[in-house]
């Protein structure tokens, strides 16, 4: 403590004598020197300048990428490609305490299937909530392909709030996509299965196996999906794939493509050709055109079958009501992307070199005139391919997904086999530019590129293979997201970003200024239910309650102590720690972990979270804060002591460390008075400047003021003990007083640095 004390004081004195000043010197290297030394071309330097975001500056867009098999969502900035966050969604994420605290465990438990915890997800398609077809930045939805589920993430705090399990699907792919006002989130099945649970032999595939599409009702006010208001449509057993909602003229309709409309059932082990052969025989597959607005009315009218307690519009009803049609599309299609005005649907055939542009107007006319080319085996009317097409463009081998530019008629399609992005004009039907990527692109994403108002500027290629792009790290390579400048006529590759968390499929990017996340919670907040936590604890109200063998610890954290510090329980007790972080200061998160357990909390400012452990064996279990939150972070500690059954206390002497005298107290007191002088000079420096023009500094000053308030309180305690000649407690409380001073000084110096770096000026009094 003394050593640190000297150092802190030195730093403080150095400041007060004006020795610590912002560095103004710059590297003597010229740009030419650096280019030569690092072997950079002018093009490299230009690309760097287009992506580099200097310290303290922020990105223009935020991307939300699916985390693939990690079951998470990855957030990064564009154009810097700096990773900002992994959001725990379907999989526990220790740093955020996700899947470790009781509150988030309850969210993950919503995703249980047949009572089983599913601890991974295969996330594919994130979708941002929309208002009038524009991203509004409030919510993010993402699907799990393997265990058909949709998660709701609140973009006010970037936390997962809800997981819903699809009641009838056994696998899915065509989700999550939203209606223009986020009334519904779509989820389409992938591999056909019986909608009921239970065994059905594959010999009954045609009759009993089915596809489906689910429309999940989103309750915007509650910020949650309402499963009671959600419904599904039974579809033929074609492997349904990607989906999109209509908008503008096509609002009210949704589109879901499919592959393996051959309905092949495989059997390679019996000497039959594999799925890949049987599922790609026909020249065309079908996309489904569904009038979801009318479907919602059909559900209201009760024309549904309840399957697993969930309303399903059966195919014959859908056909009779005129809400389901099929349109032939290139075989083994991928991608279903509706144009910003809703007039066109772009579909690519993975085994075709063409991309097909369908005209909504033409298709509606065919439907209106009952001009059908035939019916499928289930009686669903089929439209004629040629009569539905606007145009067809040769874009390259293995086209997949398409995204829209801010420039009218301009789109970008990912070309998987050729490893290219093709820029083309879907109005005129001509190719404009091609760019090679590395390697084998899946999805691609332009800024707000699937909204009614695409922003252009950048495109990210989400590549499946990285091969030789990065330093080798073993056989499992990172994924490669390549940033491409699309502001000019020619696309320009700017940057390769390795992503090592899983295989992202789709990503969406939103203008950063549309997001308004909070920086602290209302105090005592249950962040998963968005209500005041029932175990919220105010400072001074920390306590331990016992009810039989259930012990509840109502605790708090604040720089730099956990209250309580000693918790004694008996072997066999069930102990719940409900911890409230009392901090109001930005970024002052504390952690909480207990030795020998999975207890692991992340306590952001204002948050209350709980964790339950069973004291199954007697012993000494230290707990501590896992975030380096302050100079005395390591001292942010405590003990969970589990006494053996029938334990009797025995008196011992020399229990703890050191004894203090009046001289110790006087010395500490003197240090504190000196420190106060230094703090006063820091405060003087700040208030002599226009600090009120800088909101981050204003909140730092508030935080420092709070710490000084604590310092004053503890000084009183020290002096009270001193008056009673209790030098032990007097000295220790004087030490605590000094701790608060150091925290205040630390915050003050942060404020001072900020002011220096942001050009604060002296104000005349």
Chain residues in the site for ligand K7E (CB under 6 A): 124-125, 173, 242, 334, 400-401, 442-443, 505-506
Choice between 102 and 332, CB closer to ligand K7E: 332
Choice between 404 and 665, CB closer to ligand K7E: 404
Q: Does 625 bind ligand CUA (CB under 6 A)?
A: yes
Choice between 311 and 335, CB closer to ligand K7E: 335
Q: At closest approach, how far in Å is the CB of 187 from ligand K7E?
A: 13
Count of CA atoms in the C-beta half-sphere (13 A) of 579:
33
735 binds, among ligand CUA, ligand K7E, none (CB under 5 to 8 A by kind): none
The two three-digit tokens of residue 419, written as one number: 């490893």
Cβ contacts of residue 209 below 8 Å, gap of 6+?
Answer: 192, 193, 194, 200, 202, 237
Choice between 441 and 636, CB closer to ligand CUA: 636
Q: At closest approach, how far in Å is the CB of 179 from ligand K7E?
A: 19
- CA 483 to mean position of chain CA atoms: 20
Q: Does 629 bind ligand CUA (CB under 6 A)?
A: yes
Q: At closest approach, how far in Å is the CB of 117 from ligand CUA?
A: 30
Q: At closest approach, how far in Å is the CB of 498 from ligand K7E?
A: 18
Choice between 388 and 707, CB closer to ligand CUA: 707
Contact 484, 435 (CB under 8 A): yes
Q: At closest approach, how far in Å is the CB of 43 from ligand K7E?
A: 29
Nearest 5°: the CA angle 453, 454, 455 is: 115
Q: At closest approach, how far in Å is the CB of 587 from ligand CUA?
A: 12
Q: At closest approach, how far in Å is the CB of 743 from ligand CUA?
A: 11
Site string for ligand CUA, 553-572 (x = CB under 6 A): -------x------------
Instruction: Give the residue from 178, 185, 176 showing the smallest Cα distance to 145.
Output: 176
Choice between 130 and 706, CB closer to ligand CUA: 706
647 binds, among ligand K7E, ligand CUA, none (CB under 5 to 8 A by kind): none
CA distance 604 to 600: 13
Choice between 12 and 460, CB closer to ligand K7E: 460
91 binds, among ligand K7E, ligand CUA, none (CB under 5 to 8 A by kind): none
Choice between 542 and 666, CB closer to ligand CUA: 542
DSSP state of 410: E
4 binds, among ligand CUA, ligand K7E, none (CB under 5 to 8 A by kind): none
Q: Which stretch binds ligand CUA (CB under 6 A): 253-261, 346-354, 442-450, 622-630?
A: 622-630
Contact 263, 467 (CB under 8 A): no
Task: Quickly tell me which residue has 């935080």 as its tokens.
Answer: 703
Contact 90, 165 (CB under 8 A): no
Q: At closest approach, how far in Å is the CB of 709 from ligand K7E?
A: 54
CA distance 623 to 227: 40
Q: In this structure, is the dihedral angle defined by the CA atoms of residues 678, 680, 681 and 682, taken in order, positive or negative?
A: positive
Task: Quickly tell me which residue has 């720690």 as its tokens.
Answer: 577
CA distance 764 to 762: 7
Choice between 166 and 523, CB closer to ligand CUA: 523
633 binds, among ligand CUA, ligand K7E, none (CB under 5 to 8 A by kind): ligand CUA
Q: Which stretch binds ligand CUA (CB under 6 A): 309-317, 604-612, 625-633, 645-653?
A: 625-633
Q: In this structure, is the dihedral angle defined by the CA atoms of residues 114, 119, 122 and 125, taken in order, positive or negative?
A: positive
636 binds, among ligand CUA, ligand K7E, none (CB under 5 to 8 A by kind): ligand CUA
Q: Which stretch binds ligand CUA (CB under 6 A): 180-188, 475-483, 624-632, 736-744?
A: 624-632
CA distance 359 to 429: 13
450 binds, among ligand K7E, ligand CUA, none (CB under 5 to 8 A by kind): none
Choice between 154 and 627, CB closer to ligand CUA: 627
627 binds, among ligand CUA, ligand K7E, none (CB under 5 to 8 A by kind): ligand CUA
Q: Which residues pair with 485 in a beta bridge?
A: 458, 492
Q: At closest approach, how far in Å is the CB of 40 from ligand K7E?
A: 33
Q: Which stretch binds ligand CUA (CB under 6 A): 7-15, 107-115, 626-634, 706-714?
A: 626-634
Choice between 102 and 147, CB closer to ligand K7E: 147
* Total of residues contacting ligand CUA (CB under 6 A): 8
Q: Which listed residue (636, 718, 732, 742) binds ligand CUA by CB under 6 A?
A: 636
Cβ contacts of residue 707 below 8 Å, gap of 6+?
Answer: 559, 740, 741, 743, 744, 747
CA distance 235 to 257: 11
Choice between 234 and 337, CB closer to ligand K7E: 337
Letter string b/e over residues 211-249, b meaning 16 or more CB atoms within 10 A of that residue's CB: bbbbbbbbeeeebbbebebbbbbbbbbbbbbbbbbbbee
Q: Which residues pair with 545 in a beta bridge?
A: 552
Q: Does 590 bind ligand CUA (CB under 6 A)?
A: yes
Choice between 156 and 584, CB closer to ligand CUA: 584
Tell me the angle at which helices 695-723 and 727-757 cross, rounded to the nearest 10 degrees: 170
Choice between 151 and 636, CB closer to ligand CUA: 636
257 binds, among ligand CUA, ligand K7E, none (CB under 5 to 8 A by kind): none
Q: Does 633 bind ligand CUA (CB under 6 A)?
A: yes
Look at residue 34 and give its three-state secondary structure. helix
Tell me the angle at which helices 31-38 and 42-51 cross, rounded to the nearest 10 degrees: 110
124 binds, among ligand CUA, ligand K7E, none (CB under 5 to 8 A by kind): ligand K7E
629 binds, among ligand K7E, ligand CUA, none (CB under 5 to 8 A by kind): ligand CUA
Q: How far is CA 447 from CA 27, 32, 611, in A?
A: 36, 34, 40
CA distance 442 to 66: 13
506 binds, among ligand CUA, ligand K7E, none (CB under 5 to 8 A by kind): ligand K7E
Q: Which listed residue (627, 664, 703, 746) binds ligand CUA by CB under 6 A?
A: 627
Backbone angles phi, psi at 755, to 5 degrees: -60, -45
Q: Which residue is nearest to ligand K7E (CB)?
A: 442
611 binds, among ligand CUA, ligand K7E, none (CB under 5 to 8 A by kind): none
Backbone angles phi, psi at 197, to 5 degrees: -85, 155
Q: At closest approach, how far in Å is the CB of 519 from ligand CUA?
A: 17
3-state SS record for 136-170: EEEEEEEEECCCCEEEEEECCCCEEEEEEECCCCC
Choice between 564 and 619, CB closer to ligand CUA: 564
Nearest 5°: the CA angle 43, 47, 51 is: 170
The alpha carbon torsion through 151, 121, 187, 439 (nearest 10 deg) reads 120
Q: Which residues pair with 357 in a beta bridge?
A: 346, 391
334 binds, among ligand K7E, ligand CUA, none (CB under 5 to 8 A by kind): ligand K7E
CA distance 684 to 16: 10
Q: At closest approach, how far in Å is the CB of 274 from ligand K7E?
A: 20
442 binds, among ligand CUA, ligand K7E, none (CB under 5 to 8 A by kind): ligand K7E
Backbone angles phi, psi at 83, to 5 degrees: -75, 130
Q: At closest approach, how far in Å is the CB of 672 from ligand CUA?
A: 23
3-state SS record for 263-283: CCCCCHHHCCCCHHHHCCCCC
Contact 195, 202 (CB under 8 A): no
Cβ contacts of residue 501 below 8 Å, gap of 6+?
Answer: 67, 68, 70, 72, 74, 86
Give the binding site for ligand CUA (CB under 6 A): 560, 590, 625, 627-629, 633, 636
């Amino acid at each position: 403590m003394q050593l640190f004390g000297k150092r802190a004081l030195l730093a403080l004195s150095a400041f007060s004598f004006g020795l610590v000043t912002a560095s103004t010197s710059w590297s003597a290297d010229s740009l030419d020197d650096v280019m030569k030394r690092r072997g950079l071309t002018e093009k490299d330097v230009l690309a760097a300048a287009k992506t580099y975001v200097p310290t303290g500056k922020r990105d223009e867009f935020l991307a939300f990428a699916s985390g693939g098999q990690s079951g998470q969502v990855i957030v990064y900035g564009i154009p810097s490609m700096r990773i900002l966050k992994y959001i725990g969604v379907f999989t526990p994420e220790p740093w955020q305490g996700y899947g470790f605290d009781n509150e988030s465990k309850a969210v993950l438990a919503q995703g249980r299937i047949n009572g089983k915890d599913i601890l991974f997800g295969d996330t594919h398609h994130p979708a941002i909530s929309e208002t009038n077809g524009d991203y509004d930045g409030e919510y993010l939805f993402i699907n799990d392909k393997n265990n058909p589920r949709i998660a709701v993430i609140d973009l006010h705090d970037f936390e997962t709030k809800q997981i819903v399990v699809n009641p009838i699907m056994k696998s899915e792919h065509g989700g999550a996509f939203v209606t223009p006002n986020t009334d519904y989130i779509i989820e389409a099945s992938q591999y056909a299965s019986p909608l009921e649970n239970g065994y059905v032999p594959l010999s009954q595939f045609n009759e009993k196996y089915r596809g489906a599409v689910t429309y999940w009702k989103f309750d915007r006010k509650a910020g949650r999906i309402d499963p009671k208001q959600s419904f599904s449509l039974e579809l033929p057993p074609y492997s349904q794939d990607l989906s999109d909602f209509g908008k503008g003229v096509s609002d009210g309709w949704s589109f879901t493509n499919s592959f393996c409309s051959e309905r092949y059932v495989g059997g390679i082990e019996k000497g039959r050709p594999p799925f890949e052969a049987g599922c790609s025989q026909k020249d065309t597959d079908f996309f489904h055109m569904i009038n979801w607005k009318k479907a919602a009315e059909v559900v209201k009218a009760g024309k549904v079958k309840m399957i697993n307690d969930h309303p399903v519009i059966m195919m014959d009803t859908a056909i009779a009501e005129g809400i389901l049609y099929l349109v032939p599309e290139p075989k083994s299609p991928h991608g279903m992307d509706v144009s910003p005005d809703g007039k066109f649907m772009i579909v690519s055939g993975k085994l075709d070199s063409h991309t097909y542009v369908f005209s909504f107007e033409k298709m509606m006319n065919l439907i209106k005139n009952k001009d059908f080319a035939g019916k499928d085996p289930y009686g669903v009317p089929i439209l004629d391919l040629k009569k539905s097409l606007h145009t067809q463009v040769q874009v390259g081998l293995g086209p997949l997904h398409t995204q829209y530019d801010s420039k009218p008629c301009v789109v970008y399609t990912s070309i998987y086999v050729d490893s290219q992005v093709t820029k083309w004009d879907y109005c005129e039907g001509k190719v404009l530019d091609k760019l090679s990527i590395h390697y084998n692109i899946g999805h691609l994403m332009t800024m707000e590129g699937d909204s009614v108002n695409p922003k252009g500027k950048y495109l990210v290629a989400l590549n499946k293979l990285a091969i030789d792009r990065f330093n080798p790290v073993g056989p499992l390579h990172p994924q490669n997201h390549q940033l491409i400048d699309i502001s000019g006529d020619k696309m320009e590759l700017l940057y390769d970003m390795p992503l090592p968390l899983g295989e992202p499929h789709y990503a969406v990017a939103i203008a950063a200024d549309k997001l308004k996340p909070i920086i602290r919670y209302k105090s005592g907040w249950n962040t998963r239910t968005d209500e005041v936590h029932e175990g919220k604890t105010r400072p001074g109200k920390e306590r331990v309650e016992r009810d039989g063998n259930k012990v509840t610890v109502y605790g708090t954290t604040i720089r730099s102590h956990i209250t309580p510090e000693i918790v004694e329980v008996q072997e066999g007790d069930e102990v719940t720690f409900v911890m409230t972080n009392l901090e109001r200061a930005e970024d002052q998160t504390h952690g909480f972990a207990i030795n020998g357990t999975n207890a692991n909390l992340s306590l952001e400012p204002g948050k209350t979270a709980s964790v339950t452990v069973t004291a199954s064996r007697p012993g000494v279990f230290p707990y501590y804060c896992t975030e380096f939150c302050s100079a005395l972070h390591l001292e942010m500690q405590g003990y969970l002591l589990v006494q053996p059954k029938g334990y009797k206390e025995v008196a011992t002497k020399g229990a703890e460390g050191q004894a203090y005298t009046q001289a110790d107290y006087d010395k500490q007191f003197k240090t504190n008075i000196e420190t106060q002088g230094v703090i006063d000079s820091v405060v003087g420096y700040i208030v002599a400047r226009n600090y009120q023009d800088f909101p981050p500094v204003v909140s730092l000053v508030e935080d420092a003021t709070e710490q000084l308030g604590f310092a004053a309180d503890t000084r009183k305690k020290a002096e009270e003990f001193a008056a009673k000649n209790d030098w032990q407690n007097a000295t220790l409380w004087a030490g605590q007083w000094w701790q608060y001073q150091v925290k205040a000084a630390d915050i003050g110096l942060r404020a001072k640095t900020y002011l220096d770096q942001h050009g604060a000026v002296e104000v005349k009094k």
